[in-house]
Amino acid sequence: MVGEALESPPHAVWGLPVKTYIAQRLAIALLTLFGMSLVIFLLLRLAPGDIVDVLFSTGGYVRPEERVAIMKELGLDKPIWAQYVEWLRQILTGDLGKSYRYDLPAWQIVKPLIPVTVELAILSTVFAVLLGVPTGVVSAVRQDTTLDYVLRVFSLAGLSMPSFWLGMVIILGLVAWLGWIPPVTYVPPGENFRLHAIQFLLPALAVGYRSSALMTRITRSAVLEVMREDYIRTAWAKGQSGRVVIWRHALKNAMLPVITVIGIEFAFLIGGLVVTETVFNLPGVARFLVQAILWRDYPIVQNLVMFIAIVVILSNLLVDMLYGWLDPRVRYGE
């Protein structure tokens, strides 16, 4: 099987041409997104209350005639299936609709949120990989030593502490020890890059430490399993240095589960940084999504959740592509 994989033409991946495989995955992705759109749309409508009810509760009594007028203006008086078809038409034409709360195009509101969350997710993932993978390798190589136990406790501590709590501890520590508090309002990189970097560095470290703990555990288990393989013993018998055996042979073949965790963690961070963004006062996707749900701002919620779904699908596709690059034995079909 290994020989067959290695004999595949350079333009083929896992027995399939690259274009064919990507086309198949994209077709599945479109079906998945269609199913997600149905689930998102129906769940929002099944939740009690809508934007009109929210406006009524905050504004006091409003005449029924005004309620009907608002429903008609927002298109909420139409049947659910008609509202869904209208939303699909807006997506296909590049028009994401208009926010109920702000009376502005949804894309105009969503656009500045995406770079904030993506930047924080990328920085957190980078910190997690830089900290988690080497720590897991060292823990596996020094198995059952004092260093191994220390690193395992370090990783368990990361899994036990919520990232938002650790972020609050970091802020309190800076205030208590240095008498300095991070910027409380978002600073764009073009305005002051130094403050912007500090503003993202702290939450990225807090979130990255938690993710690195999981990567440490996965890397340690994967490397320990690979170190028992025959080709690793052969490499030792040939007199290759420990650095070459561990980092070039063992780690590369142990990276498949680690790559999977990295992809899952990155996709999770895109929509799972609600409390962290709130603690550090960052105007990101996750924080704004919660606010939009509370206001029943359907266009904003629908488009933000679809954005998160697209990120998850693309992350999984990238992980699968990396599988074939890291291990030519991986074959997904003929």
Same-domain status, 61 and 182: no
**Which of 282, 303, 324 is the endpoint of a domain?**
282
For tokens 């042979």, the residue is: 249
What is the tens place of the pLDDT at every residue in 7-38? 444 444 444 566 777 788 888 888 888 888 89
Contact 318, 263 (CB under 8 A): yes
What is the tens place of the pLDDT at every residue in 52-90? 766 666 656 567 777 777 777 777 778 888 888 888 888
Same-domain status, 208 and 92: no
Q: What is the pLDDT of residue 5?
A: 40
Dist CA 136 CA 147 (whole Å): 11
Same-domain status, 123 and 240: yes
What is the tens place of the pLDDT at every residue in 110-135? 888 888 989 999 999 999 999 988 99
Q: What is the pLDDT of residue 9?
A: 45
Q: Percentage of residues in the chain with pLDDT exceeding 70?
A: 87
Same-domain status, 66 and 208: no
**Which of 79, 106, 133 is the endpoint of a domain?**
106
Q: How many domains does the chain divide into?
A: 2
Same-domain status, 162 and 259: yes
Same-domain status, 226 and 268: yes
Residue 1 has pLDDT above 60, yes or no: no
Dist CA 260 CA 208 (whole Å): 16
Same-domain status, 43 and 169: no
CA dist list (Å): 61 to 68, 139, 279: 14, 65, 35
Residue span of the structural domain in which 163 resides: 113-282
**CATH for 196:** 1.10.3720.10
Same-domain status, 70 and 89: yes
Same-domain status, 96 and 132: no
